[in-house]
Structure 1
C-alpha cells in the first residue's frame, strides 16, 4: 500500500499548479522573485569524432577569415536624428501666439492620426505641469481622459485650483511609441524651453522621467531647476500619470516627494 502524501505537500503543489495555470509565475514586490524554477541550460553536446580529429590548422584558418570579415564590416552606428531649427527666425512672442503656432506649424506634425491639443492655463502660474503628450482620446482639451481626472484629483489634494495651473504637453499630439530623447535632439528641446519661458511659471512639475531631455537635461542627471535666459525655475521630476494610474504605489511615492519638494521651494 502506498503511503498518502502529507497534506501540506499536496496543498503546496495545488497552489503552485493553480497560479501556474493562471499565468502567474512571479511574486512582485519591490523586486521580482521567480516562483517557478527555470529549466537548466543544457551543456553543449560533445563534438563528433570527425570534428575532434580535424587538423588544428584548419580551425585557425577559419578563425582568421572570420576575424578579418568582422574587422572589415564594423557594426552600424546608431541613428542620430538631424537637428532642425523648429522655432524659425520669428518664434512666437507670447502664449497666445504660441498656442496658434503649436496647433498649425507643419514642422511639429509628429503624429498625423491624432489632433494637436493646445496647452491651457494662465501665464505666470504658480505651477506648470508638463506631460509627455496628450491622451489618445483628447480632441478639444488637453488631458480629457483618466490621466486628466487623476491630475485634477492630485491638484485638489495639493490645494491648487486646476484653472490656476498651466498644463502643457511636450508634444502637440498623441504620438504612440514616442522617443522623447530623439525628438529632443531633433530640436524639440528648444521648443519646450521656449514654451516654458513664455509660460513663466514659478515652479515646474515634469510628469515623465524622460522629460528632462526636453529641457536639455538627462533622465539621470537629477534635474533640479530650469535655467533659461538667466531665470531659474525649480523643477520636480516624477513618473507619468499613465504609470501612476496603473501602479498605486507610485502615487504614494509621488506624494512623499511632492511634500518634500513643495516644502523646500
Structure 2
C-alpha cells in the first residue's frame, strides 16, 4: 500500500497553474446556497434628534405620512388667442411669428408646405435637424418622397406639415400638446381640410387628441367640429430609416387603409 503523503507547496502551485491554464479560475461547491431568501433588513434605531442625510424637517411637517407628492399638472395656455387664424395664409404667419409656440423664439422655425383642400396631408412631429428653409429637406424627406411616389401622390400636391415649429429632440409631446399645441394642430388640420391625413411618429399622437399608448391600428379617423378625416398613423420616418421592417409594416397598413377609398 502506498503511504499517504502531503503535497508540497510546489505541487499545489503546479496544480493551480494547470487549472488556471485550463480556464478554471473560480472555486465551486456542491452545497446549495439560498441566494433568493428574503431577509429583513434591520436598520439601527435613530435617536429622536438624529436624521439621515437628505431628511428635511420642513418636508416632514408638510408631508407627515411621507406620501408621494404628485408632479405638478401642465398649465394649459390659449395659444390661438381671441383672433385665431381664419385662413391657411394667416396660419402660416401665425406659425412663424406667434411667440408662445415654443420656448426658444421665432428664429429657426420651419413653414409647412403644400396647398389646402389637398388629397393627402402628411403630419410629422418636428422638422429634421438639417432643415433650414424647407420642411423635411434631408434624408427623411427623401424617404417620404419615395413613399408618396409609390402611393401614387404627387409631392407638390401633398400638404406636408409638422406639429412643432422647429426640430425638438426628446420632446415631451404629451406635456406640449396638453399645454395648448393640440388646439393649434387641430386648427391647422381644419384650415388645410385634407381628404386624408397620415400622421407619422409615435410621439405625434397627443397632438391629435390620442394617448401615446394607443395602438396605431385603432386610430382610423380624426374628428374636428363634426368633420371626420380618415387618419393613418404609423411610426416616424426616422424609425423607418433605422428599421426597414417598419417600412413593410407601414406599407401593409397603407394598402388596408387605402382600400377604403
Residue 230 of structure 1: aligned partner = 226
| Distance in 2 between residues matched to 1:169 and 1:207, nearest whole Å | 10
1:121-200 matches, within 5 Å, as: 121-200=114-193
Residue 83 of structure 1: aligned partner = 76
| Distance in 2 between residues matched to 1:229 and 1:113, nearest whole Å | 29
Q: Deviations over 1:73-107 (max 9, x none)?
A: 21120232100000000001111111111011000
For the pair 1:253 / 2:241, whether they are aligned, the reply is no
| Distance in 1 between residues matched to 2:165 and 2:40, nearest whole Å | 60
Aligned length: 213
| Distance in 2 between residues matched to 1:83 and 1:252, nearest whole Å | 38
Taking structure 1 as the reference length, the TM-score comes to: 0.73
Max radius of gyration: which structure?
2
* Pairing partner for 2:238 from 235, 242, 257: 242
| Distance in 1 between residues matched to 2:85 and 2:40, nearest whole Å | 71
Contact 2:98 2:106 (8 Å CA) reproduced? no
DSSP 3-state at the match of 2:109: coil
Unaligned runs of 5+ in 2: 1-33, 47-59
Contact 2:96 2:106 (8 Å CA) reproduced? no
Alpha-carbon shift at residue 176 of structure 1 (Å) = 2.0
1:49-60 matches, within 5 Å, as: none
Taking structure 2 as the reference length, the TM-score comes to: 0.74
Alpha-carbon shift at residue 128 of structure 1 (Å) = 0.4
Contact 1:210 1:218 (8 Å CA) reproduced? no
Moved over 6 A (4+): 44-48
Contact 1:111 1:175 (8 Å CA) reproduced? no
DSSP 3-state at the match of 1:103: helix
| Distance in 1 between residues matched to 2:72 and 2:171, nearest whole Å | 15
Alpha-carbon shift at residue 208 of structure 1 (Å) = 1.1
Q: Which has the higher helix share?
A: 1
Contact 1:114 1:174 (8 Å CA) reproduced? no
Residue 55 of structure 2: aligned partner = none
Unaligned runs of 5+ in 1: 1-40, 60-68
Contact 1:111 1:173 (8 Å CA) reproduced? no
| Distance in 2 between residues matched to 1:252 and 1:176, nearest whole Å | 25
| Distance in 1 between residues matched to 2:40 and 2:187, nearest whole Å | 65
| Distance in 2 between residues matched to 1:85 and 1:113, nearest whole Å | 18
Contact 1:193 1:228 (8 Å CA) reproduced? yes
DSSP 3-state at the match of 1:107: helix
| Distance in 2 between residues matched to 1:201 and 1:45, nearest whole Å | 61
| Distance in 2 between residues matched to 1:118 and 1:47, nearest whole Å | 61
